[in-house]
Amino acid sequence: MDASYLDLLMAQQEEVAEAEGGGGGIWVVADLVDGGVAPVTLEAIGAARNLADSLGAYVYGVLLGDGVADLALALYQAGADGVRVADHPALASFAAETYLAVLADLFAAEQPEAVLFGATDMGQQLAARLAQRMGGGLIEHTVALSLDEATRALQASFPVYGGEYFEIAACPQARPQFLTVEPGAFAAPFIDPYRQGSPTMLDVTPLEPAVRRVGEADGFAPPPVPLNRARLIVAAGRQAGDFALVERLAAALGGQVAGDRGARDAGWIESGQVVDLRSATVAPDVYLAVGIRGDTFHNAAIEQARFILAIHPDPQAPIFEVADLGLEADPQQVLPLLLQALE
Amino acid sequence: MRVIVVLGHVLDPRGIAVNRRAGRVFINRREYILQPADRCALEAALRIKDEMPAEVVVLPRSPLPDDDVLRQALATGADRAVYLAGDGLAAADDAAMARLLAAAVERLGGADLILTGATTLDTGQGQLGLRLAEALGWPHVADAWALKTSDDRLEVVRQEGAGYAVLEAALPVMVTVAPGALEPRYPDGARLINIYRGQGEVAAALETWDAADLVDADALQPLLERRGQEFPPERERGVRASGGLEEMARSAADALRRQVRV
Ligand SMILES: Cc1cc2nc3c(=O)[nH]c(=O)nc-3n(C[C@H](O)[C@H](O)[C@H](O)COP(=O)(O)OP(=O)(O)OC[C@H]3O[C@@H](n4cnc5c(N)ncnc54)[C@H](O)[C@@H]3O)c2cc1C
Ligand SMILES: Nc1ncnc2c1ncn2[C@@H]1O[C@H](COP(=O)(O)O)[C@@H](O)[C@H]1O
């Protein structure tokens, strides 16, 4: 069948019968980026949709901002049954007290069963304060969700020690159940371009906040992160070839530069940057070994790294035995390509 | 100026082994360290005390097996610490601790500033400080990287996206401090010895309060129920990227993106 004909057939727009509030439902408070709805919000709506279908509940989206009413469509298309919009100049950028006042009023009236936020700067702040205000439980940085049907409780997994393992928890008694969901942890939902609805506008009463943003912190530089606490390390060894490429890769990834004893002997790094059981052990999320052969002392010092990527021309190099991914290649040749691929 | 620091302990990750195959966490050395972000919060308080007359009071963020972290804080320069004990306290979650701590703050006669870590090293949860602000009805600033106080105002530098912004708050205010924000100082050896020997002023600065005198038993009921642990699949080491240089570079870039979400 002709695709455009199919489009014609389906082009009867599906108006979502705006779900009435007044009890229950899974609510998702939207994060905005670059004037649009953040991916994490759509992911949260997708997760909420799955749970809501098992619970027989509605999914609602909440938008706060200035001139954001048009974004409601994105929430409907991701699966929301209803959308509430607080549109006011006072909400133009995130201000905890102002946003809290709007949401506290809304949720006091609607009595949600569960409220989801993105585990973002904004979501983390709002979820904790609303949970305490409404007597609800909160599980942050959720990466997986399941339903305990006996209590209608949402069971959530969250990472411990940065993802070494996961705890599963639930707040079965208290309502609402608050959750923040980790960006990227849940699949993006199916976007139904034919869904639409008419959002309900909320009243906004501006208040005089006790905390005000003064401006940019010009010239503020955070303290250097010691190697043993660095989250991403790009380390060079004798076979790195071009150390400038290693530095560029570290900058591109927002990581710290380090190396093995060979790199220090080559004069590329200081003694304080040497990764070796006798100097410093590290436990980053990602360790990139560029041209490091990987002797026993070096490899033992990186044992706690969560993900190790090794690049070395010698297929027999011991670093490959501990690496999660190994590239048998000359760093000088592969690094420019890797930098390109990361752009 | 009175600054309250809420701090807690965490199992030193260097003493534990997560065995994915066995699906268990092995505690090889039961050693606790101060929560790294709470250590930064303490440092922020002590820097205020370096600058102006201030009293630094320390409270626990969670039920503690003993008062070691409070003693450490006193040895590092805090003036006073309160250990909270009592029946029904052991199960308290962040919601319950926030209520209990709010009552403790009231009993201390209030404060100008409360500082705590923005997140915990183990569970990664950041709700305690914000819940406490809510329980007290105070405003908050989350994830501070630097603080500057005057008599009735506070300037806070916090991360916003890729940059940093300055926020201004009227006191009192609750501030959570980012892990790694400040290079923390170490406890003073002589003070530490005095505290453990029960000698001198510093030893007298540690008191114990009964939770039952602060809140009723209902307030300590936890909302959070632990339901188990999950372990990621075992790491498969020694995997080699295939193909030519370009293909290898692409697999590496994909793997890095998955790991760091660049
Ligand atoms: C499996 C694993 C997972 C990890 N995950 C993370 C993560 O997700 N995020 C993260 O940021 N980090 C992580 N790390 C790194 C870890 O946080 C740090 O190694 C740990 O916090 C120790 O910090 P530190 O180096 O400041 O400790 P140290 O500075 O060694 O301090 C440890 C304790 O000893 C005391 N102490 C140390 N030296 C002295 C001294 N000279 N005098 C008096 N007292 C002293 C301190 O007061 C402190 O309480 C992880 C590590 C491992 C092994
Ligand atoms: N301290 C430990 N650290 C890491 N793994 C361990 C530890 N003790 C035992 N194991 C492993 O855990 C699994 C189950 O051990 P067990 O329960 O003691 O029989 C086995 O594979 C052991 O090798």
Query: DSSP for A77-117?
Result: HHT-SEEEEEE-GGGSS--HHHHHHHHHHHHHHH--SEEEE
Residue B262 has pLDDT above 60, yes or no: no
Task: Name the band, by pLDDT with cuts 50, 70 and 90, for residue A12.
Answer: low
Sheet holding A26-29, edge to edge: A137-142, A177-181, A114-118, A26-29, A59-65, A82-87, A200-201
Residue A1 has pLDDT above 50, yes or no: no
Asked if the structure places residue B259 within a domain, the reply is: no
Q: Ligand 1 center to residue B9 CA distance, Å?
A: 12
Number of residues assigned to chain A? 343
Asked if the structure places residue B76 within a domain, the reply is: yes
Q: How many domains does chain B have?
A: 1
Mean pLDDT over A39-51 rounds to 97
Residue A9 has pLDDT above 60, yes or no: no
Per-residue pLDDT tens digits for A223-248: 888 999 899 999 999 999 999 999 99
Q: Ligand 2 center to residue A283 CA distance, Å?
A: 21
Cis before A176? omega within 30:
yes
CB contact under 8 A, A174 and B250: no
A69's enclosing H/E stretch is: none
| Spatial distance between the Cα atoms of A16 and A76, rounded to a whole number of angstroms | 8
Task: Name the band, by pLDDT with cuts 50, 70 and 90, for residue A4.
Answer: low
What range defines the domain where residue B137 resides? 2-220
| pTM, entire model | 0.87
Asked if the structure places residue B110 within a domain, the reply is: yes
Which mutation among B14, B20, B26, B234 tests ligand 2's pocket best, with the greatest number of atoms within 8 A of CB?
B26
Instruction: Tell me how far CA of residue A78 lies from CA of A15, A20, A50, A82, in angstroms.
Output: 14, 19, 12, 11
- Ligand at shortest distance from the CA of A161: 1
Instruction: Tell me how far CA of residue B71 lies from CA of A135, A206, B59, B192, in angstroms.
Output: 33, 45, 11, 7
Q: How far is CA A312 from the centre of its chain?
A: 32
Residue A7 has pLDDT above 60, yes or no: no
Residue B82 has pLDDT above 80, yes or no: yes
Asked if the structure places residue B228 within a domain, the reply is: no
Per-residue pLDDT tens digits for A254-271: 999 999 999 999 999 999
Looking only at the bridges linking them, the beta strands covering A165-170 and B225-230 are antiparallel
Q: Which of A127, A109, A148 is nearest to A44 (CA)?
A: A127
Nearest to A342 among B143, B231, B256 (CB): B256
Per-residue pLDDT tens digits for B170-187: 999 999 999 999 999 999
Whole-complex ipTM: 0.84
Choose, out of A34, A147, A211, the residue to mutate when testing the contact with B (most B CBs < 10 Å). Answer: A211
pLDDT at site B201: 86
Nearest to B18 among A158, A164, A328 (CB): A164
Looking only at the bridges linking them, the beta strands covering B113-117 and B173-177 are parallel
| Spatial distance between the Cα atoms of B16 and B31, rounded to a whole number of angstroms | 9
DSSP type of residue A222: P
Ordered structural domains, chain A, with CATH: 19-201 (3.40.50.620), 227-342 (3.40.50.1220)
- Ligand at shortest distance from the CA of A162: 1
CB contact under 8 A, A217 and B173: no
Asked if the structure places residue B141 within a domain, the reply is: yes
Q: Report the CATH number that the domain containing residue B166 is assigned in CATH.
A: 3.40.50.620
Q: Poorest-confidence range of B87-91, B226-230, B245-249?
A: B87-91
| Spatial distance between the Cα atoms of A332 and A237, rounded to a whole number of angstroms | 12
CB contact under 8 A, B180 and A327: no
| Spatial distance between the Cα atoms of B114 and B147, rounded to a whole number of angstroms | 12
Mean pLDDT over B44-54 rounds to 96
pLDDT at site A240: 96
